[in-house]
Amino acid sequence: MKKIFTIIFMLASVYLYAQPFATGKRTQVFIDNLRSGREISTDLYYPANTAGNNVPLATGATKFPVVVFGHGFLINSNAYRWLADSLVKNGYVVAFPNTEDGILPNHLDFGLDLSFLSTRVSSLNDSTGSFLYQRLVKRVAVAGHSMGGGASFLAAATQNNSIKAVFNFAAAETTPSATAAAVLNF
């Protein structure tokens, strides 16, 4: 019984000590020069000591993994704030591109945006001018919902070395085919 109490006490102590992070947010425009200077406006959510826009990254030496998340058809990326808050509080940096949000989205462009951001956001770890300098784990999960879920498979099909995982919610079929891309990758 004493061992069980000790184990419970130790687990509770770790839980109480590990405070979740607050959510910081910045909007940044990334330029994909390989696609004619395509502008990819992106909301970056990140661990911070205090919540807010453009607040500093959480202090310390902790390195954070990155998730790049694609929104669903006709759904603004702000609708996924709950997901950003949940991931950030557990130590993730989350990037939400604000592209292909119109009535006639280009699925391939959206998948390429997700792939590009996987590389570009992860590269901020090496940029001395970035607020994320030396604070990122260089492994990225690409994800999405509905159309963004389908686009996450298209992103993974680009054979981007930054992308180490894919997850999504109710992935939709896309043009080109997300199903065919998934079969090729997995």
- The answer to whether residue 107 scores a pLDDT higher than 60 is yes
pTM value is 0.89
- The answer to whether residue 1 scores a pLDDT higher than 70 is no
What is the model's pLDDT at position 108? 98
Altogether, the residues listed in the chain come to a count of 186
Tens of pLDDT, residues 69-91: 999 999 999 999 999 999 999 99
* Confidence band of 19 (pLDDT split at 50, 70, 90): low
Tens of pLDDT, residues 39-66: 999 999 999 999 999 999 999 999 999 9
What is the model's pLDDT at position 58? 97
